Chains A and B, each alone.
Chain A
Amino acid sequence: MNGTERIVIEGIGVVGGFGCGISDLSRALTEAAFSPGTFDLSTGSGTVRIPAFQADDSRLVEFIPVRTLRRIDRFSRLALLGSHLALADAELPEAERSRLGIIIASGYGPTGITYAFLKSFINDGDICASPTYFANSVHNSAAAHISIQLGAMGPNLTVTHFHLSVPSALATARLWLAEGKAQRVLFGAVDELSELIGYVRYRTRDAGPAVPMTPLRTEMETSIPGEGAAFLLLARESAARCGYCALDASTTGCPPISGIPLPEPGLLVLGADGCRESGRRYAAVAQNARVACYTPLYGSMPAGPAFDAAAAALMLKGGRVFPSPGADFRDFPATVPAGGDPVGGDRISCLTLAGDEAYGLTTLGKLSGTTGECAKEE
């Protein structure tokens, strides 16, 4: 097995505030239309309506019968939907499923069912705690549900590490494939906007006047919470039946004094999500680079970088840059290409900044050669 063989993204499955499926994401990226919904949040002083990018998981029943879903909570439902969409997009034969490795990355994990578990004993006493809710609140339950539904007996990993979750888990996905630990890896990032997370965000972020989400206006707080699932089916190039692009590297860590080592020009997709503190850091890192930012299409969440990777995959396949939503880049010290501009290189990198000066950088590359078309537009 060739240790330097490229890793290919064979299929993409996404659900979020923009819709459900790779076609919806592609359309949202092309139109750059900013359209969050709303979320009614209980607070100590009554219900507050906040803007939010909510995901609709109703298409899950196209893949899994209602009966089977009865004990499965929303976080796992989003994960199951993302996973099935990616497999359908790649047209992966059913016979291949049993050998899949599965990796889930989530910033906060299944907070909805965790809160439900706490409520079960807060309300009715310790002896009335729900075992079903507890079992589902264990962080690897989504990965378990996917492996059970698919009959996938390969390795199984879940990573929960706030904003480093996606780049960190993608590094392990690449390693598993390079080592031959799995033939294919179904990687997915999931975050749900539960009542609990909504409330924590409400208490920890400045709630300014309702404005459009403009992550590249770094002196303002404009983040809007999002949720959803973004899944990538990964395979070694020699085994891949088709592909959007290659996943060439994924790194996490702290930068040396010289700064974050950004790959040579192509395009840098920023995970800036309207949070003021990180906005300034993104501006400092991205100085003089060629950048784009798509978080206003799916919202602020640690799973965001996986959606950025999906956008990068579409751009590498199509050869054209999507417009960054929101025209207001005036303060941002970098070039922001217009929609339709050429990608301008063979590589796109996705940058995420986390606490403690830590960062994550995922680099995707254009496929050369003859890896064919199998991506299905829904």
Chain B
Amino acid sequence: MTTVEKLKMILVEDLNLEELTPADIYENAPLFGEGLGLDSLDAVELIVIMQKRFGIEIQNLDEGKAAFQSVHALASYIEGRLKTG
């Protein structure tokens, strides 16, 4: 499973996006505002999800904001962080 596919599954499950399937999520659509329509509470939840599901620590919201642009951007960020350890 690619990082993008794994990430979509995790988003649906951990953010309780009940009415969506991973296939419904566009990889390049914004996560926040329009697109998936997540908000500030989801942003801090995503930071915890990064820790719990990928072991990746994000220190502050600014760091998070840069990474959370879209599913594609986040998947790249995750791969990058996992490579550097």
Tell me, yes or no, whether A and B come into direct contact in the complex with CB atoms closer than 8 A. Answer: yes
Interface string of B17-55 (1 = CB under 8 A from A): 111000000000000000000000110110010011000
* Interface size bracket, B side: 10 to 19
B15 interfacial by beta-carbon distance below 8 Å: yes
In the docked arrangement, what's the CA distance between A71 and B18, Å?
A: 10
B84 interfacial by beta-carbon distance below 8 Å: no
- In the assembled complex, how far is the CB of residue A62 from the closest CB belonging to chain B, in whole angstroms? 16
B60 interfacial by beta-carbon distance below 8 Å: no
Q: Are B19's CB and A131's CB within 8 A? A: no
- In the assembled complex, how far is the CB of residue B61 from the closest CB belonging to chain A, in whole angstroms? 12
- Residue of A70, A71, A128 touching B52 (CB-CB under 8 A): A128
| Residues of chain A within 8 A of B19, CB atoms compared | 66-67
* Interface size bracket, A side: 10 to 19
Q: Are A131's CB and B44's CB within 8 A? A: yes
Give the dominant DSSP class at A's interface.
Answer: helix
Q: Which residue of B lies closest to A124 (CB)?
A: B52
In the docked arrangement, what's the CA distance between A131 and B44, Å?
A: 7
Q: Which residue of B lies closest to A136 (CB)?
A: B41
Q: Are A128's CB and B44's CB within 8 A? A: no
A354 interfacial by beta-carbon distance below 8 Å: no
| Residues of chain B within 8 A of A71, CB atoms compared | 15-16, 41
In the docked arrangement, what's the CA distance between A128 and B51, Å?
A: 7
A135 interfacial by beta-carbon distance below 8 Å: yes
Q: Are A129's CB and B48's CB within 8 A? A: yes
- In the assembled complex, how far is the CB of residue B54 from the closest CB belonging to chain A, in whole angstroms? 12
- Residue of B16, B17, B18, B41 touching A131 (CB-CB under 8 A): B41
Q: Are B52's CB and A132's CB within 8 A? A: no
In the docked arrangement, what's the CA distance between A268 and B42, Å?
A: 49
- In the assembled complex, how far is the CB of residue B57 from the closest CB belonging to chain A, in whole angstroms? 8
Q: Are A70's CB and B18's CB within 8 A? A: yes
Interface residues of A in 25-82 (CB under 8 A from B): 66-67, 69-71
Q: Are B41's CB and A70's CB within 8 A? A: no
- In the assembled complex, how far is the CB of residue B1 from the closest CB belonging to chain A, in whole angstroms? 22
A327 interfacial by beta-carbon distance below 8 Å: no
Q: Which residue of A lies closest to B19 (CB)?
A: A66
In the docked arrangement, what's the CA distance between A70 and B11, Å?
A: 12
- Residue of A66, A69, A130 touching B48 (CB-CB under 8 A): A130
- In the assembled complex, how far is the CB of residue A68 from the closest CB belonging to chain B, in whole angstroms? 10
- In the assembled complex, how far is the CB of residue A83 from the closest CB belonging to chain B, in whole angstroms? 21
In the docked arrangement, what's the CA distance between A66 and B18, Å?
A: 8
A124, A127, A131 — most chain B CB neighbours (10 Å):
A131
| Residues of chain A within 8 A of B18, CB atoms compared | 66-67, 69-70
Q: Are A135's CB and B52's CB within 8 A? A: no
Q: Are A132's CB and B41's CB within 8 A? A: yes
Interface residues of A in 261-307 (CB under 8 A from B): none
Q: Are B45's CB and A132's CB within 8 A? A: yes
In the docked arrangement, what's the CA distance between A130 and B15, Å?
A: 11
- In the assembled complex, how far is the CB of residue B60 from the closest CB belonging to chain A, in whole angstroms? 14
| Residues of chain B within 8 A of A132, CB atoms compared | 41-42, 45
Q: Are B45's CB and A131's CB within 8 A? A: yes
| Residues of chain A within 8 A of B51, CB atoms compared | 127-128
In the docked arrangement, what's the CA distance between A124 and B45, Å?
A: 14
- In the assembled complex, how far is the CB of residue A72 from the closest CB belonging to chain B, in whole angstroms? 9
| Residues of chain A within 8 A of B45, CB atoms compared | 130-132
24 contacting pairs across A/B (C-beta < 8 A): A66-B18, A67-B18, A67-B19, A69-B18, A70-B15, A70-B16, A70-B17, A70-B18, A71-B15, A71-B16, A71-B41, A124-B52, A127-B48, A127-B51, A127-B57, A128-B51, A128-B52, A129-B48, A130-B48, A131-B44, A131-B45, A131-B48, A132-B41, A132-B42
CB-based closest 9 A-B pairs: A70-B16, A131-B44, A128-B52, A132-B45, A66-B19, A124-B52, A131-B45, A128-B48, A127-B51
A-B contact sample (12 more), CB < 8 A, given A127-B51, A128-B51, A132-B41: A66-B19, A70-B18, A71-B15, A71-B16, A71-B41, A127-B48, A127-B57, A128-B48, A129-B48, A131-B41, A131-B45, A132-B42
